[in-house]
Amino acid sequence: MEFTAEMIAGLLGGDIVGDKSAKVHTVSSIEEGKAGSMAYLVNPKYEPYLYTTGASIVLVDRSFSPRQEVRATLIRVDDAGACLLRLLEMYNAAKPQKTGISDRASISSGAVVGEACYVGDFAVIEAGARIGDRCQIYPQVYIGDNVTIGDGTKIYPGVKIYEGCRIGSRCILHAGAVIGADGFGFAPNADGGFDKIPQLGNVIIEDDVEIGANTCIDRAKTDSTIIRHGVKLDNLIQVGHNVQIGENTVSSAQMGIAGSSKVGRNCFLAGQVGIADHIVIGDRVKIGSQSGIDKNIPDDEVRMGTPALPGLKFHRSNAVFRNLPELQQRVNALEKALKQLMEQQ
């Protein structure tokens, strides 16, 4: 698909500086821009690339004033970041959608597949499963007995959804995600080994949730592990049994939550955060990378470090930690001076 600067400016309500007939067919970052691509300048630290980019068109804010000559055609808009997102969404929506059910898919006679769905090669849909309309089920997906999936959900290759789990509408599950495997539950026995505790619950994923590649969400021991509306989980995340994650919470990769913990709404959990079992985290909490959480956190707090500290206290402690070698030298020097004074008495 090809667009001119005039077409893009008309769509976004922007003003053109340069060649209104300049054409683009793809989007690129400003530092990697090539002829035929549209780039964007959102972060001021990338401004130097504006003067060297090979992109044909660059989106900028109306308030931006270049300090050098710009070879690319500029489109000035109220908010370059928001306009870029709008264009990307439109481009993605215009991509052709896969349709049809493969002859090599295995669909139980007791399953129901909605209208306008795509089911790829070697996908398996077991008895009692209910698939909504306009779903995309890619090759080698496994959907277990009595699973329900809402309208417009996209499930990429190799996803496994165990029996009884419920997936909402407009969700995206990326390749290799496992939904509903047994929670990690074992009881010590008299022989010094461990007896498996049956995991009889399920997983409920509400609408508009995105689950990253190879992320695992365990079924509950009883009741449900629940991922609320709008949650976004990155790749390689582990969510334990009976965990609940609140609406519109976001987590980066390699985060782990142990069983029965609860995370509130609109939280941000950075990469490699670890949360112990039975912890309660409030709403709008922010947790820094590699933090270890072993205590409850109230609403609107920031935590960093292991064990996690309030943000300001962490930075103060870290400043001391960085200076420990010099502090040790000073203490050693003071001890030596004190010893000399005592010997002189």
10-51 pLDDT, tens per residue?
Answer: 999 999 999 999 999 999 999 999 999 999 999 999 999 999
Report the DSSP pairing between strands 292-293 and 106-107.
Answer: unpaired
**List of residues 6+ apart from 183 with CB closer than 8 A:** 199, 218, 219, 220, 221, 225, 240, 241, 242, 259
- The helix, strand and coil proportions of the chain, stated in percent and rounded to the nearest 5, come to 20, 30, 55
The type of residue at 156 is Y
The mean pLDDT of 306-329, rounded to a whole number, is: 81
Percentage of the chain surpassing pLDDT 90? 83
Residue range 100-313 in CATH 2.160.10.10: yes
pLDDT tens-digit series, residues 129-151: 999 999 999 999 999 999 999 99
Q: Alpha-carbon distance 314 to 139, whole Å?
A: 47
3-class state of residue 27 by DSSP: strand
176 pLDDT higher than 80: yes
**List of residues 6+ apart from 263 with CB closer than 8 A:** 243, 244, 245, 246, 249, 257, 269, 275, 281, 285
Closest CA to 231 of 202, 213, 208, 252: 208
Q: Alpha-carbon distance 141 to 158, whole Å?
A: 5
Take residue 171 and report the two structure tokens written for it: 């969700």
Residues counted in the chain = 345
Q: What fold characterizes domain 3-94?
A: 3.40.1390
313 pLDDT higher than 90: no
3-class state of residue 342 by DSSP: helix
Name the DSSP class of 297. Answer: B
Q: Which position has the higher pLDDT, 172 or 91?
A: 172
The mean pLDDT of 263-273, rounded to a whole number, is: 97
The mean pLDDT of 219-246, rounded to a whole number, is: 98
**Active site amino acids:** 241
Q: Alpha-carbon distance 66 to 18, whole Å?
A: 13
For 292, phi then psi, to 5°, come to -110, 120
> What integer pLDDT is reported at residue 266 of this predicted model?
98
Domain definitions of the chain by residue range: 3-94, 100-313, 314-344
